[in-house]
Amino acid sequence: MFPYFPYFASMYVLEGIGEGLSHPCRDAILASSARPKHRGFDFSIVNFLGSVGNTIGFLGIGLVCDTVGFVYPFVLRAIIYVIVAILIYLKLTD
């Protein structure tokens, strides 16, 4: 094992916890705001856009890792999560 393995593994555990908390909330928000006839279509669009985001993210993070190192992608992801949390909060308080 490499010397930073415990740190690396704990980051993946925290990421999994974050996804486990955010995905059900996202689905609940989508289910409650979508019209019943369009709910399936809305879910498919959201999942498609998530796949597009993952593709762009993997390519972008690979470029960032190659250019500036492996720490900055984690910082970038944290910033993205904070922005998403703020947007969800603003939407829920309307």
The answer, yes or no, to whether residue 1 has pLDDT greater than 70, is: no
Residue 76 near residue 61, CB atoms below 8 Å: yes
Residue range 1-5: average pLDDT? Answer: 77
| Whole-angstrom distance, CA of residue 81 vs CA of residue 1 | 29
**Per-domain residue ranges for the chain?**
5-92
| Whole-angstrom distance, CA of residue 60 vs CA of residue 79 | 15
Band of pLDDT at residue 8, cut at 50, 70 and 90: confident
| Whole-angstrom distance, CA of residue 80 vs CA of residue 91 | 17
Model pLDDT, residue 18:
83
Query: Which pLDDT tens digit goes with each residue over 69-87?
Result: 888 888 888 898 899 889 9
Q: What predicted TM-score, i.e. pTM, was given to this entire model?
A: 0.60
